[in-house]
Structure 1
Amino acid sequence: MTNFESSVQINRPVNQVYSFLSDLNNHEKLMPENIYNWSSTTDEAKFTIQNMAKLALKVSSRTENKEILIIPSEEAPFAVEMKWLIIENGDQTTATLTVSADLNMMMKMLASGPLQKLVDHQTAALQKELV
C-alpha cells in the first residue's frame, strides 16, 4: 500500500472537528473542483472525478472524537481507504488524513501526484471550513 498523508491544526474542539468529518454530507465542501455529480448521506458518498472515475465511498467505522475510516462501497479502480485521525491538543485539534492505495507501478506513477494533491486540498479545505 502507498500512503498519502496531510495534517492540519484547527482552532476548534475535537468534538466539533469529529462531528463535521463524521458526516459524509460535509465532505463535498472538502473536495477539489474536478469532483462533480456528488450525492451523499451521512454514511455514503458517490461522485465522479473529472476525466478519471466514478467512486462510491462509505464510512466503515467511527471511533468517537478519534478516527473515521472510509472505504469503497462499490468496485473501485484500486483498493483504497481514507482514514481521518483526530487528536485533541488543548484548545486545538490536529486532523490527519491518510489515503492508503494499493497501486501497481504504472498506477503509482499516474496517481501519486493527484492523490497527494487531494489529501493536501482536503486538509486545507477543512481548516478553512472550520475557522
Structure 2
Amino acid sequence: MTIIESNAEINLPVAQVYQFLADMNNHQQLMPENIYNWSSTADTASFTIQNMAKLAIHISEKVENERLVAVPTEKPPFDLSLAWSVKENGSGTTATLTISADLNMMMKMLAAGPLQKLADHQTTKLKEVLG
C-alpha cells in the first residue's frame, strides 16, 4: 500500500474545519485546475481528472471532529482511499490528508508523484479557503 500524506495548520477550531470537510460540496474548492465535470452532494462527489480517469467517491466513515474517509463508489483501476483527520494543535487545527493507494511498482512510478501533488494542493487550498 502506498501512503501519501500532506497537512496544513489552520487557525480555526477543529469543529469548524471538520464541518467544512464533512460536506463534499466544499471539496470542489480544494481541487486543482485539471479536475473538471465536478458534481457533488453532501456525501458524494464525481469528477474527471484531465488525461486520466473519471472518479466517483463517497464518504464511507465519519468520526465527528476527528476523521473522514472517502472511497470510490465504482471499482477504480486500483484500491484507493482519501482520509482527512483533524486535530487540535494549541493555536488551531492540524488537518491531514492521507491518500492510501494499492499500487503495483509500475503504477507507483506513474501515480505517486501526481497523488502527492494532489494531496499537497488540497491541503494548501484548505488553508487558503479557511485560513
Given the two structures, how large is their TM-score scaled by the length of structure 1? 0.98
Q: Which runs of 5+ in 2 are unaligned?
A: none
Query: Which residue is equivalent to 1:8?
Result: 8
Query: Which residue is equivalent to 1:67?
Result: 67
Write out per-residue CA displacement over residues 30-77 of structure 1, whole angstroms, 9 at most, x where no aligned residue: 000000000000000000000000000000011000000110111211
Within 5 A, what are the aligned runs for 1:36-55? 36-55=36-55
Query: Which residue is equivalent to 2:129?
Result: 129
Structure 2: distance between partners of 1:111 and 1:76: 13
Which 4+ runs in 1 deviate beyond 2 A?
A: none
Structure 2: distance between partners of 1:75 and 1:38: 19
RMSD: 0.6
Q: Structure 1 residue 90: deviation in Å?
A: 2.7
Query: Which residue is equivalent to 2:77?
Result: 77
SS in 1 for 2:33: coil
Query: Which residue is equivalent to 1:114?
Result: 114
2:24 partner letter: L
Structure 2: distance between partners of 1:90 and 1:101: 31
Structure 2: distance between partners of 1:7 and 1:89: 12
Structure 1: distance between partners of 2:46 and 2:74: 10
Q: Structure 1 residue 91: deviation in Å?
A: 3.7
